[in-house]
A and B are shown apart, each in its own frame.
Chain A
Amino acid sequence: MESCDVLVVGAGFGGPVAARRCAQAGLDTIILERARVPGEKVVSGLVIPFYGFTFGPDFIREGNPPIERPICRVVNRFIRDGEIYATDSTLRVPKPLALGYAAYCRPFCTWLADRAVEAGVELRTSTTAVEPILEKGAVKGVITDRGEEIRCKVLIDAGGTQNRLAIQAGLRRKYLPEALELYMVWDFEMAKEDVDETFGLSMEFFHALPEEGIGAPLGFGSTLYIFTYRESIHPGLGQFLVTRGEIPNLARLLPRYFENFQKKVTRWKRDIAPKVKLRAVTWDVCPIYAGLIPETRNMPVYGDGILIIGDAAGFEASAFGDGVPSAWFSAELAAEVAVEAVRKGDASRDTLREYERKVWEHPYITWIITDWRRWDLRKVLVSRSEAELRRMIRDHWGVGAFRYRYSGRPLLKAAREALRRDPRAPVKWMEMFTRYYHNWEENRCDPLSTS
């Protein structure tokens, strides 16, 4: 039997951030990851919004992570009979600023795990935590698939959406299918000059009423996205696991929507298809509504000896592409509380409750998981009104998203707090944007332990 101060389960986006901070505070920290290489079991889009970087962990802001492309513009295309009848490209920022950065999970998670290992964390890959060790209801560690018992003072569950350990510990239940979308994602190779010419530094959303059959009838106005990378593009679309009270035939629908999109939409047929080659097809479940469903939101995010972060805690809203920032934010908060608990020698519920308080004070986590506009987008599909669809999309993925009462308020609150802690924060943010921009231009990032 082994023991450590903090045991983190999962080296996806959140786990390494939590582990690194614990190790930096001098705690003996281990991460377990069931994949052979961090991130190779994570499927997720991915455009990480800028505020994940500006308000998230210093080491990411100050480092050179493997980003694929800065995204400076969101272009919303409205489709009828396969043709674009309107475009909204109001959401844009000038270079070197970016609305977000596109990335692949495998290199990004490896980069994060490398930083944790540098800080003294022991990373054990190819190791699945199969069940928590429970003593009088308190979590004391885990048993791995090799039969090892690893005991710890605090367990940080960073295991992602399925949150199996938290369920086994009796703290949470599996998410309701109403809260989940299944996303199918395709990855196409495309020459860099073609991506530059066809998309610039933008990503595109395609919106249509359900009769077009190019996206989920119950989703976000039948949205299909194309994320743009350095030498590839990444279309994706999702569908809720429950639609109008029934489980839809996703096995048939998702591939069919994309086939329709490829056959019908002129923008794809004319501007994109001749330049691309299919490289990968993957999918995953995304807990996109988890925070909005009160039953999920009211489930605990901590217990005796355990803190739950990221997707495992239901802090996801990738309708805005926000899962990664909330994994990073919650990882840092959990690590602060874990360090205090180990120092005090008390990881009881009473001590760990502080994590919940911090989470609910965090302007971004609370905004991300409670923004009611995501529900409203469904109404468009009932009213069948194109004008309504366009207004809502503009409020959601257009310039309206930055209105004070939407993301503007949490943004200002987070900025004020960051400034109070460090008056040099704006300088650091600008340095980050500039450095990331140069890294993208020069195709530079830190070397990875596995490339």
Chain B
Amino acid sequence: MEVRTSDRFPGVEWVGDPGDFIKVDESRCDGCANCVRVCLAECFEIKGKKARVRTLAECMECAACWYVCDKEAIVFSWPPGGTGFRTDWG
């Protein structure tokens, strides 16, 4: 499986294609930007007063976005087994 790295977050690898395991349900989102503020990997952006997933390329699967969305607009699941974030230095 393909393994990606990032200069911003050394020591971390992203394995394979985890797909869109985090989504925004636009009908619930009020554009408060809480998800944008907590995500250290800049995975979200606000477009047209709604949040949307920009990229999950550097997502560390921490779920902070899911916790802070009190509108329950973040649909959070895990990526398929064996894909996504990994590190030896956690």
Residues of chain A having any CB pair with chain B under 8 Å = 33-37, 39-44, 104-107, 125-128, 130, 144-146, 161-162, 164, 174-177, 180, 182, 184-185, 187, 232, 241-242, 247-252, 254-255, 278-285
B60 touches A164 (CB 8 A): no
A252 to chain B minimum Cβ distance, whole angstroms, is 8
B63 touches A161 (CB 8 A): yes
B67 touches A175 (CB 8 A): yes
A280 touches B64 (CB 8 A): no
A187 touches B89 (CB 8 A): yes
A182 touches B90 (CB 8 A): no
B90 touches A42 (CB 8 A): yes
Option from A127, A255, A278, A282 in Cβ contact (under 8 Å) with B90: A282
Count, chain B residues at interface, CB 8 A? 35
- Beyond A36-B86, A251-B40, A280-B88, list 19 extra A-B contacts (CB 8 Å): A34-B82, A40-B87, A41-B61, A41-B85, A106-B89, A106-B90, A126-B81, A128-B78, A128-B81, A145-B81, A176-B67, A177-B68, A241-B68, A250-B37, A279-B10, A280-B11, A280-B89, A282-B9, A285-B62
A249 touches B87 (CB 8 A): no
Closest Cβ neighbor of A107 among chain B residues: B88
Residues of chain B having any CB pair with chain A under 8 Å = 8-12, 15, 34, 36-40, 42, 60-64, 66-68, 76-82, 84-90
Closest 7 CB pairs of A and B: A280-B11, A126-B82, A43-B90, A280-B89, A126-B81, A247-B34, A187-B89
Residues of A within 8 A of B84 (CB): 41
Option from B15, B34, B60, B88 in Cβ contact (under 8 Å) with A284: B60
B69 to chain A minimum Cβ distance, whole angstroms, is 9
Query: What CA separation (Å) do A280 and B87 show in the bound complex?
Result: 9
Option from A33, A130, A174, A279 in Cβ contact (under 8 Å) with B66: A174
With known contacts A106-B88, A280-B87, A249–B78 Cβ distance under 8 A: no
With known contacts A241-B68, A250-B37, A280–B10 Cβ distance under 8 A: yes
Query: What CA separation (Å) do A364 and B37 show in the bound complex?
Result: 36
Query: What CA separation (Å) do A185 and B40 show in the bound complex?
Result: 12
B4 to chain A minimum Cβ distance, whole angstroms, is 15
